[in-house]
């Protein structure tokens, strides 16, 4: 609901400024991530259920455990991006809410900048890992590890988009 309201506010901004475009892109990507997160969790439940049924009544699926493990990691990264967009990090917000407004303001800026640097490293080294491990294949499914490791630069980039939109709003005084 909050994402839809923010997207409507952003779409209503007639200026066409880079801030409004960045915010709109962040909102749209987050909406896709929320749907993707639902699909990933549904796929994990379905594959695991299918594995249990096949193990007891038929032949075990050799690829299901491996795929479910990769989907879990991907879902965790997608969930992290949604959490960053929504600002749902309880440890950070619980402390920030108890501080005076001026200190909370600077703490918010500091956490955004630290997050920016951290996810630049995640995206960069995820890309390095993706390239360096591209010749290896997964044991159960036989696909290139490049596809598995591509989730790190992809989701690192999504979180960087959200952080960039948040920092842009921060500097414009919209938070």
Neighbours of 167 (CB within 10 A): 17
Distance of CA 153 to the CA centre of its chain: 10
The full 3-state SS of the chain, as one line of letters, equals CHHHHHHHHHHCCCCCCHHHHHHHHHHHHHHHHHHHHHHHHHHHHHHHHHHHHHHHHCCCCCCHHHHHHHHHHHHHHHHHHHHHHHCCCHHHHHHHHCCCHHHHHHHHHHHHHHHHHHHHHHHHHHHHHHHHCCCCECCCCCCEHHHHHCHHHHHHHHHHHHHHHHHHHHHHCCC
pLDDT at 73: 96
* pTM to 2 decimal places: 0.80
Each domain of the chain, given as residue ranges in start order, spans 18-172
> Could you list the pLDDT tens digit for every one of the 175 residues in the chain?
444 444 444 444 445 566 688 889 999 999 999 999 999 999 999 999 999 999 999 988 889 999 999 999 999 999 999 998 887 776 667 777 888 988 888 888 888 889 899 999 999 999 999 999 999 999 989 999 999 999 999 999 999 999 999 888 877 774 5
CA-to-CA distance for 148 and 135, rounded, in angstroms? 12
pLDDT at 106: 86
pLDDT at 5: 44
pLDDT at 43: 97
pLDDT at 4: 43
CA-to-CA distance for 50 and 68, rounded, in angstroms? 11
pLDDT at 10: 43
| Residue 137 tokens, joined | 């294949």
């Amino acid at each position: 609901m909050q994402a839809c309201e923010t997207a409507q506010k952003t779409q209503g901004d007639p200026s066409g400024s880079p801030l409004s475009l960045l915010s709109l892109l962040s909102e749209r990507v987050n909406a896709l991530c929320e749907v993707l997160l639902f699909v990933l969790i549904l796929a994990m439940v379905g594959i695991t259920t299918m594995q249990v049924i096949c193990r007891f009544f038929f032949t075990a699926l050799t690829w299901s455990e491996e795929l479910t493990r990769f989907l879990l990691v991907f879902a965790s990264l997608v969930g992290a991006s949604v959490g960053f967009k929504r600002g749902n990090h309880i440890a950070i917000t619980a402390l920030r809410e108890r501080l005076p407004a001026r200190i909370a303001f600077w703490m918010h800026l500091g956490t955004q900048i630290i997050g920016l640097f951290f996810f630049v490293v995640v995206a960069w080294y995820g890309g390095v890992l993706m390239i360096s491990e591209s010749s290896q294949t997964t044991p159960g499914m036989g696909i290139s590890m490049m596809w598995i490791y591509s989730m790190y630069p992809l989701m690192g980039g999504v979180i960087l988009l959200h952080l960039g939109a948040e920092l842009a709003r921060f500097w414009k005084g919209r938070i």
